[in-house]
Each structure stands twice: as structure tokens, then as C-alpha cells.
Amino acid sequence: MRVVETFAEARRATEGRVVLVPTMGYLHEGHLALLREARGVGETVVMSLFVNPLQFDDPADLDAYPSDLGRDLELAAAEGVDVVFAPDVDEMYPRPPRTRVVLPELGGRFEGAHRPGHFEGVATVVTKLLAGLRPDVAVFGRKDAQQLAVVRCLAEDLSFPVEIVGVSTVREADGLALSSRNVRLAPEDRRRATALSRGLFAAADAIEAGLRDADRIEAVVAASLREEGIEPEYVALVDRDEVVRLERLDRDAFLAVAARVGSVRLIDNVHIDLTAEGPAVDRGRFLATESVLYRRRT
């Protein structure tokens, strides 16, 4: 595995069908699932590792973002990554960017409304990664469902010859979706945080039993949060591509929730495919043992 810091070195280190997995580091099994998917579809797997300051609306969140390069490199090597592209801020942004990528509609709702500038930062850095590394495939997690829609949209609108692949969420054994932020939850908040996935799964059960009305589906999730005294920032049944709220579940969608639990802001969702046999809900994959997130910290 090679570790490089510049776009030029990264391009020189790749050959054949190149698959990119963009990350901000502090890897967990959710990232490892993306790397495994990548390994299965291409010849050169490139993992980018860059904590992108442009996408943090809250400087305290950026400061608190966990990092451990040594641990990330070990985990990446074990997954067969060929190239780790770990630029510093000067390589990524030699000067404050004069060009930014803005998706006013897709990036303005839900997460975008609660985190002003977030998707502009994500879309700008992803565009730079696609332009600078020129992958054939790029792999993203379904956990960030709106991000996935934003990336699909920008790749299409800006004519990047790249296939965007979405991979199911990986969850801790009790259902909490894996996130590097989980390590910042206080013990009691870590317990309360399972209300998000519990609510989504209860709503998924109701959907599979025939519920289609968005207000009632969302109410199931909100009730689960309120049982733990958590006030949702939003709960919404969302069209998967256009990222607009649906009144009824009548197309492929995701059911999304965002909430602050203690000092940590969490998001989660389930994806729903409307198949000929009825709705198929992707609840994600559950770990049987404790996540690597908690194994070592610096």
C-alpha cells in the first residue's frame, strides 16, 4: 500500500479500473464495507483521507473530529487498499477556493437547512477528488443518504465519467449506525442514541405491514426519540433522488432522522425500495462484536 500526499503522485500510482473511497479517516466497519465493495469492483483501490474543513459549519465539530492516521493505515492495508491519498490542506486548497460547487435544491433541504454550507463543502471537495484522481467508480455510504444523492447529481450534471455506488449502513450490535462521532457520546447518551435506529426500524415494520402515509410513518420515529427525551431536528420520508419530502410512500425513498443526543449530532436512515412484491427496507448490517472504533484511541 502506498501513502501519497499529492494528486499527481496518486494518479501515477493508479492503473486499470480505479475505485475511489473518499473518507475523513477514523475508520470504522462502515468504511471497511466501502473498501470491501471497492476491492470487489476495481483493480486499484484508492482511499482518500482528508478532514475537509469546508464542510464543517461548526468549528467546534471540526476541532473535535477524531483522527488516528496510524490506525487508519493499518485498517486500510488489511482491506487491500492500494493507495491512500492523504493530502494536507495546502494540497487540497492551495488558496481559499474561488470555485465552489453548490446544489441549491438537493443540498439546501434537511441536512443542508440545518448545516448551512455543509453540502457546498462536500460537493466542492468531492468534485476536486473526482477531477484530480479520475476514478472509474466512487463508493459512498447509504448512511449519508442526502450526500449520496448530492454526489450522484453533481457527477451527472458535471459529466464525470464515474459510476457512483452506494453501500448499506453498518450498525453496532444494538442498532446504532456507525459514525466516527459515536466515540464522543457520553455513556448514558450512547444508550439513548439507540432510539434513532429503534424508531426507524419500528417505522420500517409499519411500512412492511402496509403503512404509506408519511405523517404517520414519521410519527413512529419521532415517538421513539421522545421516549428518550430526544427532540428530532427533522424526521422525513424523502424521495431518494430529488431529496424532497414525500406525502406518501409511492416511490423509492429513504426515511431520515437527525437529532442531537447530548452534545453529539447524529443522523440515520433506512432505504426503502418499492419492488413489485412490496416495499423492501434496507435496515443495514449489524456487527456481532464491538466496533473497531472503540479499540484504540489517541
- Interface contacts to ligand PAF, rule CB under 6 A: 22-24, 52, 55, 122, 125-126, 144, 147
Distant-in-sequence, close-in-space partners of 60: CB < 8 Å, separation ≥ 6: none
Q: In one letter, which amino acid is 68?
A: D
Query: What is the nearest approach in angstroms of ligand PAF to the Cβ of residue 175?
Result: 21
- Is beta strand 285-286 parallel, antiparallel or unpaired with respect to 278-282? unpaired
Nearer to ligand PAF, 129 or 230 (CB): 129
Catalytic residue among 31, 114, 118, 271: 31
Phi, psi values for residue 157, rounded to 5°: -65, -35
Provide the 8-state DSSP code for 245.
B
Nearer to ligand PAF, 122 or 230 (CB): 122
CA distance 17 to 139: 13
Structural element, H or E, at residue 260:
strand 253-261
Query: What is the nearest approach in angstroms of ligand PAF to the Cβ of residue 121?
Result: 7
Query: What is the nearest approach in angstroms of ligand PAF to the Cβ of residue 176?
Result: 17
Nearer to ligand PAF, 147 or 291 (CB): 147
Query: What is the nearest approach in angstroms of ligand PAF to the Cβ of residue 180?
Result: 8
Q: Which three cell numbers stand for residue 250?
A: 409511492
Clarify whether 118 is annotated catalytic: no
Query: What is the nearest approach in angstroms of ligand PAF to the Cβ of residue 22?
Result: 4
Cell 462484536 -> residue? 289
Nearer to ligand PAF, 56 or 201 (CB): 56
Residue 279, classed as helix, strand or coil, is strand
Nearer to ligand PAF, 13 or 123 (CB): 123
How many C-beta atoms surround the C-beta of residue 297 within 10 A? 10
SS3 track for 174-194: CCCECCHHHHHCCHHHHHHCH
Of 281, 105, 295, nearest to 208 by C-alpha is: 281
- Is beta strand 253-261 parallel, antiparallel or unpaired with respect to 264-275? antiparallel
CA distance 29 to 180: 10
Nearer to ligand PAF, 72 or 144 (CB): 144
193-202: burial string, b at 16+ Cβ within 10 Å, e else:
bbbbbbbbbe
The residue nearest ligand PAF at its CB is 22
Query: What is the nearest approach in angstroms of ligand PAF to the Cβ of residue 280?
Result: 25
Cell 449520496 -> residue? 148
Of 118, 121, 112, nearest to 92 by C-alpha is: 121
Catalogue the active-site residues: 31
